[in-house]
Amino acid sequence: MKPKGFDYLRADSVAEATEALAQGGEDARLIAGGMSLVPMLNFRLVEPSILIDISKIKDRKYIQEKNGMIEIGSATRQCELEKWDQVESKLPLLAKALPVLGHYQTRARGTICGSLVHADPSSELPLCLATLGGEVVLSSTKGERVVKAEEFQTGMLSVSKQSNEMVVAARYPIAQGETGYAFREMSQRHGDYAIVALAAVVTKNKIKLGVGGVADKPTVREWDHLDGTDLDDALNAFAWDLGGYDDIHATARYRRELVRRLGKKTIEEAKNASVR
């Protein structure tokens, strides 16, 4: 369980990292926290020619408010957002999701942007980004572009980032008034990959539910206000449409059951939170 040989570059700036990406081509890879990438390297599932370490780029380590969003730099660790003193008030959904994202130790190294790029279908941060309608900022030697969450993750472990681009920041919309946020997930053990993860955003007129761990990427559905059996039917249709799989931990049917049952509870919780 040793990786195949690769070159290593510790980039001090985004310019240096994107330059190295441009030169490295398809087989260049960025590493920030390495919580997913390093095991994949050790298994030789990923064999990069060059590994560009962006975790030490100083000006990429920040959490700041910008145009109604919270922008998080690519060197910011998950634990830094978790411990950020405004996370409860500005990003209540993330405040609920971060404690179940992996483990204390992995959050101490893993980055916010790294998790978005890795695009694990069960991952909490892409689910929150999709549900809140956030965006990511991509940079390359040719410039910067902003991609909306729904256009960023294209499938399992796949994002619309080009091989010469690097995610330099993620933007999560700031919590609005009279809006409730709730997050739940079911995993076998604390910190495991979610079998089903649910994020709900409820306003006076709208219900938005994002589901992770079922389809190949987080999937969000929005309804005008629904109650009772209408909500049950809507959740049931959503559960079937997600088309989950059987694996050794859970059946597709179990995932549908969780979408129906926990989906309802998550929405209720968000609804109650919005009233307060």
Please tell me the count of residues contacting other proteins according to CB under 8 A: 53
Rounded to the nearest 5°, which phi and psi values hold at 185? -150, 155
Tokens representing residue 78 in the block: 């998950």
> Which helix (H) or strand (E) is 158 found in, with range?
strand 158-159
Closest approach, Cβ 237 to other proteins, in A, equals: 5
Measured distance CA(72)–CA(82) in Å, rounded: 12
Q: Check binding of 62 to other proteins (CB under 8 A).
A: no
Residues 6+ apart with CB under 8 A from 187: 100, 193, 194, 195
Q: Check binding of 1 to other proteins (CB under 8 A).
A: yes
Residue from 22, 108, 191, 223 binding other proteins (CB under 8 A): 191
Tokens representing residue 21 in the block: 């990406």
Strands (E), 4-109: 7-10, 28-31, 50-53, 63-66, 69-73
Stretch that binds other proteins, among 1-9, 86-94, 142-150, 169-177 (CB under 8 A): 1-9
Q: Check binding of 43 to other proteins (CB under 8 A).
A: yes
Q: Check binding of 228 to other proteins (CB under 8 A).
A: no
Residue from 46, 54, 63, 197 binding other proteins (CB under 8 A): 46
Q: Check binding of 151 to other proteins (CB under 8 A).
A: no
Closer Cβ to other proteins, 69 or 79, answer by number: 79
Residue from 207, 250, 259, 270 binding other proteins (CB under 8 A): 250
